[in-house]
Structure 1
Amino acid sequence: MSENNQLRDVFHAIADPTRRRLIRLLAEAEEIPLHELTAQFPMGRTAVSKHLTILREAGLVLDRRVGRETRFRLNASPLREIEDWLAIYNKFWGTNLLRLNQLLEEE
């Protein structure tokens, strides 16, 4: 997978509020079984599994089988790409807000 496709996949993966909530839940725990994740949402196990598949395909989630259950954990390293992308806009807004502040002080 090329870098651009991987970047697009990560952005797609975090675009959905359910997937962002899954990422937050996984960030707060070392590892969570599927049934515990499903209990956090007003949807069925299949729907949660589909969201986890999208996160896994983007490299954001790792899973492992323990007996009959699947446990999930966060792999946050792909989020660095988003952080790098946002850094450009942080500089942009920082510069523009500084200019706005200077204009307001001159008035």
Structure 2
Amino acid sequence: MSRDRTGEGEQVPEDVLVALADPIRREILGVLARETGVTSTSLAAVLPVSRQAVAKHLAVLDRAGLVRAHRAGREVRYEADLRPLRRTTLWMDSLATQWEHRLHAIKDLAEGADGP
């Protein structure tokens, strides 16, 4: 199941970024975002990898909290959970804002150094 290293019930951005680093996992997440109740077998039918490889990719996505699995009879069906992706996006936006502030401060210092 998914890890929680923040102690507050949230996934850490690193888990999400690692999960999204692989193009197959991004494709799996895209399929799951469009369709619900997808099995690993049906995913393997539309991807250039085996069902076993899909299962491994789903495990990485699950650790990042990006998918949820539920049993329907003998099958395990998956659906996307995009909340960790949204939290990671907010984290990235916050990081970008911090860097913008730093760059503006450097610019202001540099422009001030050119004065008399």
The question of a shared fold, defined as TM-score above 0.5 by the shorter chain, is answered with yes
Deviations along 1:1-57, whole A, 9 cap, x unmatched? Answer: 322972211111111111111111001012212211111111111100000000011
**Are 2:65 and 2:81, in contact at CA under 8 Å, matched by a contact in 1?**
yes
State the one-letter code of the partner of 1:2: R
> Aligned-pair distance for 1:90?
7.3
Question: How high is the sequence identity, in percent, across the aligned residues?
Answer: 35
Q: Which runs of 5+ in 1 are unaligned?
A: 97-107
State the one-letter code of the partner of 1:38: A
Describe how 1:8-23 pairs up with structure 2 within 5 A: 8-23=14-29
Q: Which has the larger radius of gyration?
A: 2
TM-score of the superposed pair, with normalisation by structure 2: 0.70
- In angstroms, what is the RMSD of aligned CA positions? 2.3
Q: How many residues align?
A: 94
**Are 1:34 and 1:69, in contact at CA under 8 Å, matched by a contact in 2?**
no
Match of residue 73 from structure 1: 79
TM-score of the superposed pair, with normalisation by structure 1: 0.76
Q: Which runs of 4+ in 1 moved over 6 A?
A: none
Q: Secondary structure at the match of 2:87?
A: helix
